Amino acid sequence: MSHIQNKIEEIKATLPKECRLIAVSKFHPSESIQEAYDAGQRIFGESRVQELVSKQAELPKDIEWHFIGHLQTNKVKQVVAIADTIHSIDSPKLLAEVERFALKAERKIKCFLQIHIAQEDTKFGFDFKECRELLESEFFSSLKSVEIVGLMGMATYTDDREMIKSEFHSLSSFFNELRETLMKDKPGFCELSMGMSDDYKLAVEEGSTYVRIGSTIFGVRQ
Ligand SMILES: *Cc1c(COP(=O)(O)O)cnc(C)c1O
């Protein structure tokens, strides 16, 4: 087994069965993705549209592509043509564009609402209030080609484990609150996307169902 394959096995062995691994392959070549694929990995995460498009063209067609990066509305069409799931819906406007192009393409796209939980201003996303407002809106009820499957969040980039844990905990609590209230009759709202290389174990402890792991598998990005 190659290094990449060993890492995937190692990580999977530590994940509870309800938590799936997204291998974040951004900035790494298609050959590395193929190695991971050969070890049985099928879910890959990309954060740049051009990379997603060119890799999808040359890799096996049963790969499930998850778009995880900030997405500009003028690139939605390309992502909707390829991605199974978008983790980074950070505005109603972006969601409306995904719906529009998914309708046109006759595709169903699963989406996560990205919630701002970190202390940094640089991270995109809704706050809790904006998220509730969206889920209460008529626009949300009118969505046909988009299914909101859950919430995504990124913790502050810090060594302070307690801080990371409390940010994941707050996202997880908010998610559970929504499942019991606004999303009560939406069984498809059941996923929590949180945890990266440095903090996925904490995320799993707080109930993550999708971890997005890049550098631990593929090495440091250039
Ligand atoms: C790059 C990226 C990851 C993976 O980060 P690693 O630290 O390399 O595991 C996860 N989520 C998002 C949104 C990313 O952009």
Q: From CA 199, how far away is CA 130, in angstroms rounded? A: 26
Cβ of 179 below 6 Å from ligand 1: no
Ligand 1 centre from 39 Cα, in Å? 21
Q: From CA 125, how far away is CA 141, in angstroms rounded? A: 20
Cβ of 152 below 6 Å from ligand 1: no
Tokens 């919430």, residue located: 151
Ligand 1 centre from 56 Cα, in Å? 19
Residue range 68-84, pLDDT digits in tens: 999 999 999 999 999 99
- pTM for this structure? 0.97
**Mutate which of 8, 20, 24 for ligand 1 pocket (most atoms within 8 A of beta carbon):** 24
Cβ of 214 below 6 Å from ligand 1: yes
User: Which residue's alpha carbon is nearest to atom 6 within ligand 1?
Assistant: 214
Residue range 119-175, pLDDT digits in tens: 887 778 999 999 999 999 999 999 999 999 999 999 999 999 999 999 999 999 999
Contact indicator for 199, 7 with CB cutoff of 8 Å: no
Residue range 11-32, pLDDT digits in tens: 999 999 999 999 999 999 999 9
pLDDT band at 206 (very low <50, low <70, confident <90, very high): very high
